[in-house]
A and B are shown apart, each in its own frame.
Chain A
Amino acid sequence: MHRFANPARFLRLAKPLTPALFWPGLLLALGACAWGLFAVPTERLMGDTVKIIFVHVPAAWLGMGGWMGIAIASLVQLVWRHPLAGIAARAIAVPGATFAAICLMTGAIWGRPTWGTWWVWDGRLTSMLVLFFLYLGYIALANASSEKGDTSRVAAVFGIIGAVNIPIINRSVIWWESQHQKASITLGGSSIDSAYLTPLFVAVTGFSLLFGALVLMRMRAALAEMRIDARMRRMADD
C-alpha cells in the first residue's frame, strides 16, 4: 500500500502515464463522438436525438465513478494515512463535478425533444443533481484550508458520507416510478442495439482515459504547488 506513498516515486510513474492516458483518451473520445454523429442510424422514435447518449452516458458514469473514487481515496486516507490519498480525492473532485454537470445538461437537452420537458423532479434526475451539489460542497470543503496540499479529515469524512447517494442514483429508476427510463445496460445484457452500443463503449473508454489523465495532471500540479509552498517558506525563514 505504501509503495507509492513516496511522492517522488509517484511522480516518476505519473509523468509518463499522463500522456499515455491523455492522447489515446482524446483520440477515442473524439472518434466515438464523430462516429456517433455521422455514422450511426437514426433511432425509431427519437431520430437524431439518440446521438447525445455518446456524451451523456459516459458523463453520467464518470460523474458517479468519480465520487466512488473520492470515497475510496478518503477511506484510504483515514485508515492508512496514505499521504497521496487525500491529494487524489481532491484531484478527482473538479473533473467529477464537470462530468456530472455535462450529464445534467445533455440530459436536459435530450429531455426537451424526447419527453417534452427540460427537467422533472423524478428520482433519477433529482439524485443526480444532488450528486452535483455534493461535488460543489466537497470542493468548497477541501479548499477551505489556506494551507496548500492540506488534506483535512473533514473532507474525507464528507467524501465517504456522500457515497450513500451513489447506490440511490443507481437504484432510483427501480425503486420509484420515474420519468427517466430504466437501465439499458445491466450485468444481464443490453437493450441498446449494437449500432449504438459499440460507439458507446468506445466513448466510455475514451472519456474514462481522459478522466484518468486529468486526475493525474491535477495530482501532479497539487504536488508541485506543495513543493513551491515549502520552498517559499524555507526562503522566508532564511
Chain B
Amino acid sequence: MEMFILSLTIFVLAIFVGVEVINKVPPTLHTPLMSGTNAISGIVVVGAILSSGGSEHTTLLSTILGVAAIALATINIVAGFMVTDRMLNMFKKK
C-alpha cells in the first residue's frame, strides 16, 4: 500500500508539472505537440519489453501479447518522433 501511495504522489505531481510546461506551448505548435506526446506515450514499450524477455514466469500467451505490445508501442515511438521532426523542420526553415 505504501508503494501505491508513493506512485500516486508521483502521478499527481507529474500532472502538475505537465500542466505548467504544456501551458507555455504556443497554439502554432499544438499539432506537433500532440504527435510528440504520442511518441512519448510509447514509453509503455518498457512494460512490453519486460513481458517479452522470456523470463521463467512468462507463458506463451503473455509473450505473444508482449510482442504485439512492443510492435504497437514502437509504431507510436517511431512514427511519433519522425512525423514530429518532419513538421517541426517546416516551422524552422524560415
Answer yes or no: do A and B interact: no
**Residues on B close to A: CB < 8 A?**
none
**Residues of chain A whose beta carbon lies under 8 Å from any beta carbon of chain B:** none
